[in-house]
Chain A
Amino acid sequence: AQSVTQPDIHITVSEGASLELRCNYSYGATPYLFWYVQSPGQGLQLLLKYFSGDTLVQGIKGFEAEFKRSQSSFNLRKPSVHWSDAAEYFCAVGTPTQAGTALIFGKGTTLSVSS
């Protein structure tokens, strides 16, 4: 069965420092991969996606992620974190269904940014 693991429940990073959020997936075929961000009380906003092609993908707000098939990973990175990046981050794998791409989510990583 498909699954997504986000090993870090909570991460604190100093403002201006670099960030890496880890994501590992289990899926038999080439996956569709996503990172979403959720601010408190809000819905989910797509940061970036990987469907095929270049394994380093760029997203909004200065985020990027790298797909590594050999490690079954899709880690999210940002070179310099801003206080406004504090939020919950979800990695998801898309499983093609008749309905489209049903997303299987990880349990999320909460990012805190310290000054």
Chain B
Amino acid sequence: NAGVTQTPKFQVLKTGQSMTLQCAQDMNHNSMYWYRQDPGMGLRLIYYSASEGTTDKGEVPNGYNVSRLNKREFSLRLESAAPSQTSVYFCASSLKNTEAFFGQGTRLTVV
């Protein structure tokens, strides 16, 4: 049972490049989330999704887009990466109103 799987684990982008972070869960959870973690800031919610085809903005959505491809997969896209998006990105999933389970994170550096 893999839980929440994120790919890639590490990525370096040049300013202006685009990329998609992938996330998949095998726990049959309805809800999925994307967070970013920055030193001294804790984790901040970027986007979340209640079910396939539905997404909502979190605290820091600017510069990101998401797609809930199916129940298992929730991707995060950076259309034009900026140095301010250098961060560690975590995907999480949960049943409704229960604890969230987190992936191992993607460490992204934008130069």
Binding site for B on A (CB under 8 A): 4, 9, 32, 34, 36, 42-46, 49, 90, 94, 96-108
Find out whether the CB atom of B97 lies under 8 angstroms from the CB atom of A94: yes
Chain A interface, >50% SS class? strand
Contact A102:B99 (CB < 8 A) given known A42-B104, A43-B90, A43-B104: no
- Which one of A99, A101, A102, A107 has the highest number of Cβ atoms from chain B below 10 Å of its Cβ? A99
- Closest beta carbon of chain B to A102's beta carbon, Å: 6
> Which residues 83-104 of B have a CB within 8 angstroms of A?
90, 92, 94-104
Find out whether the CB atom of A107 lies under 8 angstroms from the CB atom of B42: yes
B59, closest chain A residue (CB): A104
Find out whether the CB atom of A101 lies under 8 angstroms from the CB atom of B43: no
Chain B interface, >50% SS class? strand
Choice from B42, B96, B105 contacting A90 with Cβ under 8 Å:
B42
Interface size range on B against A: 20 to 34
Closest 5 CB pairs of A and B: A100-B31, A99-B50, A105-B42, A43-B102, A107-B42
Tell whether B65 is near chain A: CB-to-CB under 8 Å. Answer: no
- Across the interface, which residues of B come within 8 angstroms of A100, CB to CB? 30-31, 48, 50, 94-98, 100
